[in-house]
Amino acid sequence: MIIQTVNELIGQTPMMEIKGYDLPENTRILAKLEQFNPGGSIKDRLGVKLIDTAFKEGRINKESTIIEPTAGNTGIGLGLAAMSYGLKLIFVVPEKFSIEKQELMRVLGAEIVHTPTEEGIKGAVAKAKALGEKIENSYLPLQFENPVNPLTYYETLGPEIVKDLDGQYPDSFVAGAGSGGTFSGVAQYFKEQSESVRTVVVEPEGSILGGGEPGPHETEGIGVESFPPFMKKEWIDQIYTISDEEAFYYTKELARKNGLFIGSSSGAAFAAALKEAQTLPAGSTIVTVFPDGSERYLSKNIYK
User: What is the set of active-site residues?
Assistant: 43
- Measured from each CB, the residue nearest to ligand PMP is 221
Longest dimension (CA), the chain: 60
- Which residues touch 118 (CB under 8 Å, ≥6 apart)? none
Alpha helices in the chain (DSSP H): 43-56, 73-82, 99-107, 120-134, 148-155, 157-164, 181-193, 244-258, 264-279
Q: Of 20-28, 129-137, 173-181, 248-256, which part binds ligand PMP (CB under 6 A)?
A: 173-181
Number of residues that bind ligand PMP (CB under 6 A): 19
| Pair 258, 20: CB distance under 8 Å | yes
Instruction: Please state, in angstroms and as integers, the Cα–Cα distance from residue 1 to each residue in 4, 13, 39, following that order.
Output: 10, 17, 20
Judged by CB under 6 A, does residue 263 bind ligand PMP? Answer: yes
List binders of ligand PMP among 202-261 (CB under 6 A). Answer: 220-222
Binding mask 98-137 for ligand PMP (x = CB under 6 A): ----------------------------------------
CB of 125 to ligand PMP, least distance (A): 13
Among 73, 115, 146, 288, binds ligand PMP (CB under 6 A): 73
Tell me if 74 sits within 8 A of 68, measured CB to CB.
yes
216 vs 283, beta carbon nearer ligand PMP: 216
In the set 292, 293, 294, 302, which binds ligand PMP (CB under 6 A)?
A: 292
Pairing status of strand 88-94 against strand 65-69: parallel
List contacts with ligand PMP (CB under 6 A).
41, 43, 71, 73, 176-183, 220-222, 263, 265, 291-292
